[in-house]
Chains A and B, each alone.
Chain A
Amino acid sequence: MIALLVRDLRLATRAGGGFGLGLAFFLIVTVLVPFGVGPEGGTLARIAPGILWVGALLACLLSLDRIFALDYEDGTLDLLATAPVPLEAAVALKAVAHWLTTGLPLVVAAPVLGVLLQLPGPAYGWLVASLAVGTPALSAIGAFGAALTVGLKRGGLLLSLIVLPLYIPSLIFGAEVVIRGADGRAVETALLLLAAISVGAFALLPFAAAAALRVNLR
């Protein structure tokens, strides 16, 4: 199983694997926003948590179809489905690999981008915490969406339509953690719920995703 994980990591980071694309997109979106809303510091500071979370979410979305597409095309997915490792576990590992190569870099980059958006001082720690806790959910949910649409040509847009509404709870609680943290208010509820979504998604969605993959591999 570790071999599976390492393989996916290596595939994502080699040339042409698209590594860093999500990060670049995150940067671009963050840079774009001030051009749209004006450079006034107060405004930016207020919307920074939301912008950073939406940017992270969209950046995750970009790399989702890559989770299964390559393996689907060259038949590796068929092998995985019939391998001794349960398909559910393989899906979970792929989601982990996605998080390591897409979600985690976003967590690291976010504070830097927060500076661009005048994020208030106390919020930085909470920003990193909320993204670290919340982005795993994005990978798990994304893997489910990718499994549903793996067989479709041009499934990218449909993938976004399906996955983005499922991201809303994580977005709400994630941004809420940062907003409340910035004000010094109580953060526990939001953070706990955010974590619950991530844990629940990783525990349950691989089953739904594996079912969808089996259907698509028929």
Chain B
Amino acid sequence: MSLWDYANPKLFMQTSGRVLPWIAGLAAVTLVTGVIWGFFFTPDDYRQGSTVKIIYIHVPSAMIAINAWAMMLVASLIWIIRRHHVSALAAKAAAPVGMVMTMIALATGAIWGQPMWGTWWAWDPRLTSFLILFLFYLGYIALWEAVESPDTAADLTSVLCLVGSVFAFLSRYAVNFWNQGLHQGASLSMDKAEHVSNVFWYPLLLCLAGFVLLFLVLVLVGTRTEIRLRRLKALEARERMA
């Protein structure tokens, strides 16, 4: 019994169907607990005041935004190499989730930045990189929608995901170079790496777990939908030919 067995759509549907309610329940519990803990039961930061509470949404959403694309990259490679439809459809299902997470990261980042930087938007390297990532998601989803044949769409979008990933790395470096060049010394990044003390860390961990589980639920549901859609199209085609 290996992971590859789930490339079989039927086994995937059976297993995911059984497991989904549990994961969804766990996601809900983790998220609610984490957010409530973070929002109501943590102190303010001496520098950022109560806005530090935004960390419980901003950091998890940003992490999912990036890792969703990483998952799409892996799924695209599996499609290219082993032609497992479940993999291609999982990538398709993950994209809208990743895109919305990117929007949340951007929105919370911008809103957090307003009292800190005095402006509703700043071309901070991190925010800018996420803006570019958002555009990548848009292009990927648009390509899926534009191509009629599902297999052709899967092939083209997986190539785009590959090339896009290379350029995502390139852009990250380029944007750092770009911002340093224009605003020498302006350190605008909201680096959470600076001593996040335990009192903030535990609820943050819970929120991170909650967001990961939420991502898992949405991608599983989305993939199941795509598999059903594929079967529906096949049945309709057969009916038309009969």
The reply to whether A and B meet directly (CB within 8 Å) is yes
Residues of A within 8 A of B (CB): 144, 148-149, 151-152, 155, 158, 161-162, 164-166, 168-169, 172-173, 176, 179-180, 189-190, 193, 197, 205, 208, 211-212, 215-216, 218
**Once bound together, how far apart are the Cα atoms of A173 and B178, in whole Å?**
8
A212-B156, A216-B156 in contact; A144/B142 too (CB < 8 A)?
no
Which residues in A have their C-beta under 8 angstroms from that of B181?
176, 179-180
Residue contact B139 to A162, C-beta cutoff 8 Å = yes
Whether A172 touches B174, Cβ cut-off 8 Å, given contacts A148-B143, A165-B139, is yes
Q: Is the CB of B170 within 8 A of A197?
A: yes
A212 and B159: CB pair below 8 A?
yes
Given A208-B159, A208-B163: A173 touches B139 (CB 8 Å cut-off): no
Distance of B83 from chain A, by nearest CB (Å): 13
Q: How far is the CB of B97 from chain A (nearest CB, A)?
A: 20
Which residues of B145-173 are within 8 A (CB) of A?
A: 146-147, 152, 155-156, 159-160, 162-164, 167, 170-171, 173
Q: Is B56 an interface residue, CB under 8 A from the partner?
A: no
Which listed residue (A172, A205, A212, A215) contacts B177, Cβ 8 A?
Answer: A172
Chain B stretch 99-129: residues in CB contact (< 8 A) with chain A: none
Interface of A is mostly: helix
Contact A215 B156 (CB under 8 A): yes
Q: Can you offer 8 A-B residue contacts whose CB atoms are under 8 A?
A: A148-B160, A161-B142, A162-B142, A165-B135, A166-B164, A168-B174, A169-B174, A208-B159
Residues of chain A within 8 A (CB-CB) of B211 are: none
Q: A208-B162, A216-B156 are in contact. Are A168 and B177 (CB under 8 A)?
A: no
Residue with the highest number of chain A CB atoms closer than 10 Å, among B135, B162, B170, B171: B170
Whether the pair B132, A165 counts as a contact (CB closer than 8 A) is yes
Taking a contact as CB atoms closer than 8 A, the residue among A165, A197, A216 that contacts B152 in the complex is A216
Report whether B163 and A166 are in contact in the complex, using a CB–CB cutoff of 8 Å: yes
**A169:B167 contact, CB within 8 angstroms:** yes
Chain A residue at minimum C-beta to C-beta distance from B162: A208
Contact: B143 with A166, CB < 8 Å? no
Taking the closest CB of chain B, its distance from the CB of A139, in whole angstroms, is 15
Residues of B within 8 A of A151 (CB): 147, 152
Residues of A within 8 A of B174 (CB): 168-169, 172-173, 193
B136 touches A165 (CB 8 A): yes
- In the A-B complex, the 3 residue pairs with the smallest Cβ-Cβ separation, listed nearest first, are A169-B174, A165-B135, A162-B139
Most A CB within 10 A of own CB, among B135, B152, B181: B181
* Least distance between B101 CB and chain A CB atoms (Å): 18
Check B19 for interface membership: any CB of A closer than 8 A: no
Most buried by B among A155, A161, A173: A161
Contact in complex: B178, A176 (CB < 8 Å): yes
Interface contact A205-B143, CB-CB below 8 Å: no
What is the CA–CA distance of A189 and B143 in the complex, to the nearest angstrom? 35
| Cβ–Cβ contact A176 & B132, under 8 A | no
Given known contacts A158-B143, A168-B132, A215 and B152 CB-to-CB distance under 8 angstroms: yes
Residue of B nearest to A171 (CB): B174
In the docked arrangement, what's the CA distance between A125 and B157, Å?
40
Nearest Cβ in chain B — how far from A13, in angstroms?
30
- The chain B residue with its CB closest to the CB of A205 is B163
B138 contacts the other chain (Cβ, under 8 Å)?
yes
CB of B175 within 8 A of chain A? yes
Contact partners of A208 in chain B: CB under 8 A: 159, 162-163
Q: In the complex, are the beta carbons of B175 and A172 less than 8 A apart?
A: yes
Task: Using A151-B152, A162-B142, A190-B177 as known contacts, list a sample of 5 further A-B pairs with CB atoms less than 8 Å apart, ordered by residue number in A.
Answer: A149-B143, A152-B146, A158-B146, A176-B178, A215-B156
Indicate if the CB atoms of A158 and B142 lie closer than 8 Å.
yes
Q: B residues within 8 A CB of A155?
A: 146
